[in-house]
């Protein structure tokens, strides 16, 4: 269960309670919007910081023109591929480490060593290997999201309740089947947590990679508008991308509560 759900469930129920809760949740965003608008209109000036109302209008125009959608789909495709690869690799690695001492010893050092390396620093190297384009973005997303998925999966798979394993054993589950019947289902929540942590990373790393190593995508679009001095449009793209990232996180949270209804 996400932390937000846990907090919400302790609040008084009923329609009024839910409306109040929703208002409270969106309040900080509202305050930021008001401050932003005031700052831009009365202090900094629209050239440096376009007012939020203008950004929303521009973002809507961009959407209607449709060009941005091409860039967005390129970006989302890269995230989807990079993240999928990292989920597959991370889950295999995490469970492997939890199950086999040798795998754990081998990758433990490697992960600890690479943990603190900013994955965006690998962009130039990735360009060297894969050139400018999708390959580089995907590789950097993969590397940037692998660690949270491995670590969460490993922690989940290595802390499966002993009594659950014994229960399965006593009911006739062989050592070979235990992984599929007990360890994997018991680890699903940890895997989901890992992916939930990885999603924001994937968007951050994507933009960094696309700014340097791509001729398409949202990162490239942001940088292009910035270099042209077209800050209105640049802000609009950032705004749209934030919305998409926010929606992705929301969709994934929904997915978790429907797949892991038993949690």
Partner 1 sequence: MDVETSLDAGTVDVDDLTMTFDSGDDGTTAIEDLSLDVESGEFVSIVGASGCGKSTLLYLIAGFLTPTEGTIRVDGDPVLGSGPDRGVVFQEYALFPWRTVLENVTYGLEEQGVPKDERREQAMRYIRMMGLEGAEDLYPKELSGGMKQRVALARTLVIDPKILLMDEPFGALDQPLRESLQDHLLDIWREVEKTVIFVTHQVEEAAYLSERVIVLGGSPGTVLDEIEVDIDRTKDRSDVVTADAYNETRRRIRDTMHAEADY
Give contact residues for partner 1 (rule: CB under 8 A).
161, 163-164, 166-173, 177, 181-182, 185-186, 188, 260-263
Please state the closest distance from residue 181 (CB atom) to partner 1, in A.
8
Please state the closest distance from residue 86 (CB atom) to partner 1, in A.
24
Give the nearer residue to partner 1 in terms of CB position, either 186 or 249: 186
Taking the C-alpha atoms of residue 162 and residue 173, their distance in angstroms, rounded to an integer, is 14
Give the nearer residue to partner 1 in terms of CB position, either 149 or 183: 183
CA end-to-end distance (rounded Å), the chain: 7
Please state the closest distance from residue 164 (CB atom) to partner 1, in A.
6
The residue written with tokens 């990373």 in the block is: 201
Give the nearer residue to partner 1 in terms of CB position, either 86 or 187: 187
Give the nearer residue to partner 1 in terms of CB position, either 11 or 177: 177
Give the nearer residue to partner 1 in terms of CB position, either 152 or 233: 152
Please state the closest distance from residue 186 (CB atom) to partner 1, in A.
7
Give the nearer residue to partner 1 in terms of CB position, either 160 or 234: 160
Question: Could you give the angle at the alpha carbon of 93 between the alpha carbons of 248 and 101, nearest 5°?
Answer: 150
The torsion angles phi and psi of 197, rounded to 5 degrees, stand at -75, -30
Is residue 114 within 8 Å of residue 203, measured between CB atoms?
no
Please state the closest distance from residue 215 (CB atom) to partner 1, in A.
46
Please state the closest distance from residue 1 (CB atom) to partner 1, in A.
10
């Amino acid at each position: 269960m996400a932390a937000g759900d846990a907090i919400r469930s302790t609040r008084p129920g009923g329609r009024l309670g839910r409306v109040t809760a929703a208002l409270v949740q969106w309040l900080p965003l509202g305050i930021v919007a008001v401050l932003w608008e005031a700052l831009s209109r009365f202090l900094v000036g629209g050239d440096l910081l376009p007012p939020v109302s203008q950004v929303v209008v521009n973002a809507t125009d961009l959407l209607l023109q449709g060009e941005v959608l091409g860039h967005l789909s390129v970006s989302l495709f890269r995230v989807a591929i990079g993240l999928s690869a990292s989920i597959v690799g991370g889950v295999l690695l995490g469970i492997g480490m939890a199950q086999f001492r040798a795998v754990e010893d081998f990758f433990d050092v490697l992960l600890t060593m690479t943990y603190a390396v900013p994955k965006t620093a690998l962009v130039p190297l990735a360009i060297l290997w894969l050139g400018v384009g999708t390959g580089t973005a995907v590789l950097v997303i993969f590397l940037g999201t692998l660690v949270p998925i491995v670590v969460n999966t490993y922690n989940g798979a290595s802390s499966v309740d002993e009594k659950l394993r014994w229960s399965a054993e006593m009911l006739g589950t062989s050592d070979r089947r235990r992984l599929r019947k007990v360890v994997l289902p018991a680890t699903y929540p940890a895997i989901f947590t890992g992916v939930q942590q990885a999603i924001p990373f994937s968007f951050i790393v994507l933009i960094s990679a696309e700014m340097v190593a791509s001729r398409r995508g949202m990162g490239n679009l942001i940088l292009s508008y910035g270099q042209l001095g077209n800050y209105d449009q640049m802000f609009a793209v950032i705004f749209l991308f934030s919305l998409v990232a926010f929606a992705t996180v929301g969709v994934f949270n929904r997915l978790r509560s429907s797949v892991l209804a038993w949690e």
